[in-house]
Amino acid sequence: SQKIEQNSEALNIQEGKTATLTCNYTNYSPAYLQWYRQDPGRGPVFLLLIRENEKEKRKERLKVTFDTTLKQSLFHITASQPADSATYLCAPAHTGGFKTIFGAGTRLFVKA
Amino acid sequence: DAGVIQSPRHEVTEMGQEVTLRCKPISGHDYLFWYRQTMMRGLELLIYFNNNVPIDDSGMPEDRFSAKMPNASFSTLKIQPSEPRDSAVYFCASSLTVIEGEQFFGPGTRLTVL
């Protein structure tokens, strides 16, 4: 069955460093993958989408890579700030693209 | 636009009672999704609609759960009878498209079944 894995343990980093979050998927080949941010008590908020034919996508301090051979996406936040502390969810598209499946998320803590 | 609106924000009920969660999607969005989020299972898609028609309800856990979308601006998720294991945060989301569509989530309804 299709499976999505994100770092289950929280990631703690110092302000100013680059945070790297991992999303691995198995048993399918999504045509695209989305990343969302979720703050406590709130719904997820869309950040970025990357397609299978795109190796890398950037938006301000965010960078996402998509390696279809490794079946992995990496999400980077450069020059991290305490305000970046949140849970980050990866969401690869289901086969056919008619729905997305969310990973469990990785909790990021950025310390000042 | 006010974004996706959900009500109530919190619901506490007793086992066996009927629970109705409500959602108003963003105007003009053709797709509406219902999700359930728990610590154990993460964010699970329950059902989604396109132009008010249910398209995929394979995530609905059992017959106790039902969802309707009588018009483009309103949807309900009903649990009857409710059980303690239904305790979770239920999110509604809407999007313009489903393929590559950015989903806009509501604030969620935190359901506690005692």
Per-residue tokens: A73: 């996406």
When pLDDT is cut at 50, 70 and 90, the band that residue B1 belongs to is low
* Residue A5, pLDDT above cutoff 90: yes
Comparing alpha-carbon positions, the chain B residue that sits nearest to A50 is B100
Range A86-111 burial, b when 16+ CB lie within 10 A, else e: bbbbbbbbbeeeebbbbbbbbbbebe
Kindly list the residues from chain A whose CB atom is less than 8 angstroms away from the CB atom of residue B105.
Answer: 43-45
Sequence-separated (6 or more) residues with CB below 8 Å from residue A25: A2, A3, A4, A5, A71, A72, A92
When pLDDT is cut at 50, 70 and 90, the band that residue A96 belongs to is low
Residue with tokens 């000042």, as numbered in its chain: A112
Q: How far is B55 from chain A (nearest CA, A)?
A: 10
The answer to whether A102 and A73 are in contact (CB under 8 A) is no
**pLDDT tens column, A34-57:** 999 999 999 999 999 999 999 899
Say yes or no for a CB contact (<8 Å) between B100 and A104. Answer: no
Per-residue tokens: B1: 């636009």
* Residue A99, pLDDT above cutoff 80: no
Per-residue tokens: A112: 């000042």
The answer to whether B25 and B73 are in contact (CB under 8 A) is yes
**pLDDT tens column, B8-61:** 999 999 999 999 999 999 999 999 999 999 988 899 999 999 999 999 999 998
User: What is the helix (H) or strand (E) element at residue A56, kind and residue range?
Assistant: strand A56-59
Say yes or no for a CB contact (<8 Å) between B55 and A98. Answer: yes
CA–CA gap between residue A19 and residue A84 (Å, rounded): 10
When pLDDT is cut at 50, 70 and 90, the band that residue B99 belongs to is confident
Kindly list the residues from chain A whose CB atom is less than 8 angstroms away from the CB atom of residue B93.
Answer: 43
Q: How far is A38 from chain B (nearest CA, A)?
A: 10
Say yes or no for a CB contact (<8 Å) between A93 and B45. Answer: no
Say yes or no for a CB contact (<8 Å) between B99 and A89. Answer: no
How many residues are recorded in chain A? 112
Question: What is the count of residue pairs from A and B with beta carbons less than 8 Å apart?
Answer: 51
Give the residue with greater pLDDT, B61 vs A22. Answer: A22
Report the residue from B42, B48, B104 with minimal CB separation from A102: B42
Say yes or no for a CB contact (<8 Å) between A43 and B102. Answer: no
